[in-house]
Amino acid sequence: MRIFPIITAAIVSVALFFLVFHREKLLTFASGETPAAAATETVTDAPPAEVNANTAERSVRVLVQRSTAQQIDSAILARGRTEAARHVEVKSETSGLVISEPLRRGAYVTQGQPLCVLDEGTRQAQLAETQSRLAEAQSRLPEAESRLVEARAKLTEAEINARAANQLSQDGFASETRVAATTAQVETARAGVNSASTGVSAATSGIRAAETAIEAAAREIGRLTLNAPFDGLLESDTAELGALLQPGMACAMVIQLDPIKLVGFLAETDVDKVSVGAMARARLASGPETMGRVTFLSRSADPLTRTFRVEVTVANDDLSIRDGQTAELMIGTAGKPAHLLPASALTLDDNGRLGIRAVDAEMRATFMPVTLQRDTVDGVWLEDLPNEVDVIVVGQEFVIDGVAVTPTYKDANQ
């Protein structure tokens, strides 16, 4: 059995005991004085002022930073995603075979550029037929109008003859047979006018029907070419050459990424702090940052999350921002006074509240709760503090409320 390590451990333990618990006696012994003499010397030789100083409350030395509030723009953090400004699936309105070469996904297209062209089939023949019907209807109209003029002239003549016969009959110079004959001629002339008017109406209706048919045929021909509705990118290939498109079938998917929307969701407690037109900064999950303005703020909450949709529109000239990327939005709100302090100055009280330790007018430590507004590389911005405050930045964890402190003020350049 090795006895020397045990003896060495025992000696070290005894030395540590005297060093920790009997330090003053050990120092007195080392100086060559007896404990009684040292105590007597301390009591008899020390002046009254020094005795009071030794018995007075001891203070804790701390490092203090004097901070003045600054007016800064506050911001609300919202997480969301990017979203294309427009997202349209171009669909066919008619049926036909695709006769155009397909465009591949990723291609940039301009507004009005043909995406899919369909075979016209017999549509040009149908248009020509409706045009001939229009010409025929238009040729009938002058004849019908001339018949109406002729019928009206006969009616006028018959009315004149009828009035003359009635007058002669009253004077005894015309028989009742003549009067009845002239009256019958008037009725016949009126029937002719009505018939001629019907002919004019029928000719006019024929013209309108032919014009409607021409417009429908022209529209049908216009539907054969499916154009890009706006400038954007193809998210899918256009329909393949020879494919048969039916009404409602897709030709291509077009998205617009410039400008692009950043969509976030605000909590009920933050929605009233944001307004349309406010500046916003966004940081994408891939790293880049961008700036924009709030262009939409929902008035209706999502029924599941109870959050409100907010949209920020930003420029995307180089199309570097893609649809569906994760984004972190910082939306500007009205400015508030805040203090810029090192994050190490933050502490917690016994109730778990976040705050700082400060030095009051009586040179005692006091706890002040704060609200964390923003975290930056230069420190944290804190609200709910006085305009000027002496903040303990080193030693705050070793004092509690009411403890006397001896502050050493930190140089502003440190």
Do 193 and 134 share a structural domain? yes
CATH code of residue 136: 1.10.287.620
How many domains does the chain divide into? Answer: 4
Do 371 and 356 share a structural domain? yes
Asked whether residue 236 is assigned to any structural domain, the reply reads no
Q: Look up residue 151 and give its two tokens.
A: 């019928």
Asked whether residue 227 is assigned to any structural domain, the reply reads no
322-375 pLDDT per residue, tens:
999 999 998 988 777 889 999 989 999 888 899 999 999 899 999 999 988 778
CB atoms within 10 A of CB 122: 8
Q: Which residue range forms the structural domain that includes residue 164?
A: 123-222
Do 345 and 296 share a structural domain? no
Which range, of 8-22, 200-214, 263-277, averages the lowest pLDDT? Answer: 8-22
pLDDT of the residue at 190:
85
Do 309 and 281 share a structural domain? yes
392-409 pLDDT per residue, tens:
999 888 888 889 999 998
Asked whether residue 348 is assigned to any structural domain, the reply reads yes
CATH code of residue 389: 2.40.420.20
Tell me what the mean pLDDT of segment 62-74 comes to. Answer: 86
Whether 47 shows a pLDDT value over 60: the answer reads no
**Diameter over CA atoms, the chain:** 177
Whether 15 shows a pLDDT value over 90: the answer reads no
Asked whether residue 234 is assigned to any structural domain, the reply reads no
CA distance 248 to 252: 12
CA distance 245 to 91: 9
Do 211 and 147 share a structural domain? yes
CA distance 48 to 37: 19
Asked whether residue 118 is assigned to any structural domain, the reply reads no
pLDDT of the residue at 412:
52
Confidence of residue 148 (pLDDT cuts 50, 70, 90): confident
Confidence of residue 77 (pLDDT cuts 50, 70, 90): confident
CB atoms within 10 A of CB 411: 6
Asked whether residue 318 is assigned to any structural domain, the reply reads yes
Nearest residue to 250 (alpha-carbon basis) of 219, 226, 223: 226
- Give the rounded percent of residues in the chain with a pLDDT score beyond 90: 44
Do 358 and 275 share a structural domain? no
Do 41 and 13 share a structural domain? yes
Last residue of a domain, one of 300, 332, 364: 332
pLDDT of the residue at 354:
92
pTM for this entry: 0.55
Q: Look up residue 308 and give its two tokens.
A: 């409100």
Do 320 and 287 share a structural domain? yes
Asked whether residue 93 is assigned to any structural domain, the reply reads no
pLDDT of the residue at 35:
47
CA distance 357 to 340: 15
176-203 pLDDT per residue, tens:
777 778 888 888 888 888 888 888 888 8
Asked whether residue 393 is assigned to any structural domain, the reply reads yes
